[in-house]
């Protein structure tokens, strides 16, 4: 059965276990990062070929109340992935969809995708996910830890999450959980919502208005960039 992530940001403490565990499992080296000129806990600053997962931080003040939103960003594994649409135009098999899980996979063949083709993939992706490793030429992003999932292991980010923010399983179960949590969370946060449920396999539950998260958190044309800190 097709799989789905349910990411409940109302439970996220931004411990970044997911971000780091993903990197460790993938065996990625680190990016060079710094605080000078940046001044934020969000590091690295953006997704990149060595970070499939990035916890984004957005803070606001509403009268006396501080709101600090955490958003563990990653590929949404769209049910009908536009990145594939873009890639298929150039190199068949560069982007494939795993039959059993629905995982959207970037293969070695992405090396052959031209600069223009890559830009088109980025442009087509509603969430600005694809990144190219300039050294290897490979275009990459979250692969759902497919080799783990095939062996009935959880994706590393989900396995690592302490609070139940990251969930993974059969799509119907995850959607049921998502709606169940939404009903509960709405009592405390009336603006709570599930993002783009029907078109993605990574469903986020957010607690505040959409413009209080980073600008590509969802499909809303009118969303604004949240202040970073």
82 binds other proteins (CB under 8 A): yes
Backbone angles phi, psi at 110, to 5 degrees: -60, -20
Joined together, the tokens standing for residue 67 give 């709101």
**Is 76:84 a contact under the CB 8 Å cutoff?**
no
Instruction: Determine which residue in the list 2, 46, 119, 148 makes contact with other proteins, applying CB under 8 A.
Output: 148
88 binds other proteins (CB under 8 A): yes
- Coil vs helix vs strand at 104: strand
Instruction: Determine which residue in the list 63, 134, 190, 198 makes contact with other proteins, applying CB under 8 A.
Output: 198
Spatial CA neighbour of 56 closest among 3, 18, 103: 18
Site mask, other proteins, residues 22-61, x = CB under 8 A? -xxx-xxxxxxxxxxxxxxx-xx--------------xxx
Site mask, other proteins, residues 106-145, x = CB under 8 A? -x---------------xxxx-------------------
The residue count for binding other proteins (CB under 8 A) is 80
Task: Report d(CA 176, CA 172) in Å as an integer.
Answer: 6
Tell the smallest beta-carbon distance from residue 105 to other proteins (Å): 5
Spatial CA neighbour of 20 closest among 72, 58, 97: 72
Rank residues 170 and 227 by Cβ distance to other proteins and give the closer one. 227
**Is 17:164 a contact under the CB 8 Å cutoff?**
no
State which of positions 7-26 bind other proteins (CB under 8 A).
11, 13-17, 19-21, 23-25
């Amino acid at each position: 059965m097709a799989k789905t992530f349910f990411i409940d940001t109302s439970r996220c403490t931004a411990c970044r276990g997911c971000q780091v565990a993903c990197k460790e499992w993938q065996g990625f080296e680190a990016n060079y990062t710094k605080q000078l000129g940046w001044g934020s806990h969000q590091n690295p600053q953006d997704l990149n070929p060595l970070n499939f997962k990035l916890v984004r931080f957005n803070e606001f003040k509403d009268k006396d109340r501080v709101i600090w939103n955490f958003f563990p960003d990653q590929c949404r594994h769209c049910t009908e992935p536009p990145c594939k649409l873009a890639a298929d135009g150039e190199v068949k098999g560069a982007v494939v969809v795993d039959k059993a899980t629905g995982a959207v996979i970037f293969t070695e063949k992405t090396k052959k995708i031209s600069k223009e083709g890559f830009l088109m993939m980025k442009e087509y992706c509603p969430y600005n996910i694809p990144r190219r490793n300039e050294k290897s030429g490979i275009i990459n992003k979250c692969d759902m830890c497919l080799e783990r999932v095939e062996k009935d292991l959880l994706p590393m980010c989900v396995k690592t999450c302490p609070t139940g923010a990251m969930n993974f399983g059969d799509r119907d179960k995850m959607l049921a959980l998502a709606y169940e949590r939404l009903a509960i969370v709405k009592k405390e946060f009336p603006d709570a919502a599930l993002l783009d449920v029907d078109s993605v396999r990574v469903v986020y539950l957010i607690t505040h208005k959409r413009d209080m998260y980073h600008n590509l958190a969802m499909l809303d044309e009118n969303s604004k960039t949240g202040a970073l800190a």
